[in-house]
Amino acid sequence: MEETSYSRNDRLKAYCLQEGIALFGVADVQEIRTTFRLPSVKERLHFGISLGVRLSDAVLDEIEDGPTLLYAWHYRQANILLDKTAFRVAGLIQEEGYRALPVAASQITDWRAQKGHLSHKHVGVLAGHGWIGRNNLLVHPRYGSAVRYVTILTDMPLPTGTAMAFGCGTCQACMAACPAAALGESPEMYDFDRCYQQLCEFRKTRNIGQHICGLCVTVCRGSSRLGSHSLST
């Protein structure tokens, strides 16, 4: 019997769960190919598999007024896990005769604009993981922003998710927590320059070697402490 897109999806999803991935979804990336400059490698890769790994609540609990050395290490390890899993999933897809391009979880191609090869968060929105919140990050309804993401572009036909509506409601915790006052009532009010200047300051004064903060992530964790590890639908 010929394998269906749904059975392929379930098989890849199960593999990712075994590897420690928390969220699995698929996006139709055609509509964002020009807007978010997806790698030019190939307009035929119409599907974007979005994988997410949860950050540790215990590590985030240690963040009080800026990023810690432990958070910097944890951030790197999350990216390593995502990249390794994406690389392996791309290999599985290729073994089945399809094309797959794993896109680095955190490889900067434009340092001043702090942009990578593509916007993992916008692929995640189209995959149905959540919405872009007031903190300009992808907010999952259960895990909040305490998730790191990676993308695998492919031509393997898979069932795609549906974007969620803005769901932050009246919560403004990230606005209150932002040391740069870079956040506003809507994602469009995010002030990149203020945020980036703060990241540069943290990188220099905290000796962490990365442009990271973590404060808006720390206060945006959804209902993650109420349940156990699971995959998204």
Q: Give me the torsion for CA of 121, 202, 112, 38, rounded to 10°.
A: -20
The structural domain count of the chain equals 1
Q: Are 26 and 47 in contact (CB under 8 A)?
A: yes
Q: Is residue 227 part of a domain?
A: no
pTM over 0.85: yes
Give the span between the Cα atoms of 25 and 159, in whole angstroms. 9
User: What is the structure's pLDDT at 31?
Assistant: 75
Q: Which of 75, 74, 66 is nearest to 207 (CA)?
A: 66
Reading the chain (233 residues) residue by residue, the pLDDT tens digits are 467 999 999 999 999 999 999 999 999 998 776 666 555 555 689 999 999 999 999 999 999 999 999 999 999 999 999 999 999 999 999 999 999 999 999 876 665 666 667 899 999 999 999 999 999 999 999 999 999 999 999 999 999 999 999 999 999 999 999 999 999 999 999 999 999 999 999 999 998 988 999 999 999 998 755 333 333 43
The identity of residue 210, as a single letter, is Q
User: What is the structure's pLDDT at 163?
Assistant: 94
Q: Is residue 229 part of a domain?
A: no
User: What is the structure's pLDDT at 209?
Assistant: 87
Domain that holds residue 202: 5-222
Helices (H), ranges, the chain: 5-18, 57-61, 69-95, 120-126, 173-177, 192-205, 215-218
Q: Is residue 169 part of a domain?
A: yes
Q: Is residue 228 part of a domain?
A: no
User: What is the structure's pLDDT at 227?
Assistant: 38
Q: Is residue 204 part of a domain?
A: yes
Q: Which of 222, 75, 218, 60 is nearest to 140 (CA)?
A: 222
User: What is the structure's pLDDT at 229?
Assistant: 34
